[in-house]
Amino acid sequence: MENLTQTTDQMANYIDMAYKMAIQYGPKLILAILTLIIGLWLINRFVKSTKSHFNSKADPTLGSFIGSLLSVVLKGVLLIAVASMIGIETTSFIAVLGAAGLAVGFALQGSLANFAGGVLILMFKPFKVGDLIEAQGNIGSVKDIQIFNTILTTADNRIVIIPNGALSNSSMININQEATRRVDFVFGIGYSDDIDKAKSILQNLADKDSRVLKDPEAMIVLSELADSSVNFTVRLWVNTADYWGVYFCMHEAVKKAFDEQGISIPFPQQDVHMHTA
């Protein structure tokens, strides 16, 4: 009988303790659960909205990466907040996370710089896939813009990988972003040749090429009396896609026309005068 009484008393104590704990921690636990559920819902909505924004304004790759990064960070903050609400000490945990984050940041500072550069490139679009650019001593067509690197294909079909950090913090030339380009030439004739005739030949060649734009009009001027030649500067405006075609064809056409019309193309030479004692 005595054992039964002790058992009954223990059960009563356990029930009383459970009741007190429920009174003390129940509201906090319910509030924490509600906070977790609502917080997760808000985070998912926010991440989805962010992804949609970046997908429409920048690049799907950037949107997916930013969305995943935000999801991890925000959910981590939410879990720490929920743990604090139910009485779990989080100060030491936060300190450890901060120290770990600092160490990782120092270890990955180059990668983080490339990531930041990739974000800037994808957001502000100084160039896009297919553009011909000159950067970091390389010229090539943009094959792919990734989060950490930009990949170029050179004219001889080599792949060049440029870190986005360096690309976003240095000068870069977007060669074919504009619809038109100017093609510059320098052609030399001999001092004994007829400059009006040579200028007329150059003008005719420019007028005959349908790829040369009429506006702005071609500029053909005598620009230099050099050591061995009289030099003409020729500046023609063309559509960007026609640049190299006009550049190569014009050189060939000028050589043939000068040969037919008796205009010489001099090579460097020196006159040597000898005096006898």
Using one digit for the tens of pLDDT, what is the confidence trace for 110-149?
667 888 888 788 778 888 888 999 998 899 999 988 878 8
Instruction: Specify which of 6-10, 96-100, 141-145, 273-277 reaches the highest per-range mean pLDDT.
Output: 141-145
Lowest pLDDT segment from 77-81, 84-88, 141-145, 262-266:
84-88
Which pLDDT does position 271 carry in this prediction? 66
CA dist 52 and 247 (Å) reads 45
pLDDT at 224: 93
Q: Could you tell me if 164 and 152 are in contact, meaning their C-beta atoms sit under 8 angstroms apart?
A: no
Enumerate domains of the chain plus CATH numbers. Answer: 12-107 (1.10.287.1260), 126-174 (2.30.30.60), 180-260 (3.30.70.100)
pLDDT at 8: 65
Tell me which DSSP letter residue 177 carries: S
Q: Are 189 and 265 in contact (CB under 8 A)?
A: yes
More confident residue, 154 or 86: 154
pLDDT at position 153, please?
94
The 10 Å CB-count burial string (b at 16+, else e) for 201-232 is bbeebbeebeebeeeeebebeeeeeeeebbeb
* pLDDT-based confidence at residue 49 (cuts at 50, 70, 90): confident
| More confidently predicted of 108 and 7 | 7
Distance of alpha carbon 11 from alpha carbon 121, whole angstroms = 68
Backbone angles phi, psi at 92, to 5 degrees: -65, -40
Q: pLDDT averaged over the chain?
A: 82
Does the pLDDT of residue 209 top 90, yes or no?
yes
pLDDT, position 261:
94
Distances (CA, A) of 214 to 54, 138, 217: 42, 33, 5
What pLDDT shows up at residue 22?
58
Residue 94 in this model has a pLDDT that exceeds 70: no
Highest mean pLDDT (candidates 6-10, 107-111, 255-259, 270-274): 255-259
Q: What local confidence, expressed as pLDDT, does residue 181 receive? A: 94
Query: Phi-psi category of 264—alpha, beta or left, where left has phi over 0 and alpha has psi -120 to 50?
Result: beta
More confident residue, 233 or 87: 233
Instruction: Specify which residues 85 forms β-bridges with.
Output: none
| Overall pTM surpassing 0.75 (yes/no) | no
Contact assessment for residue 211 and residue 246, using Cβ atoms and an 8 Å cutoff: yes
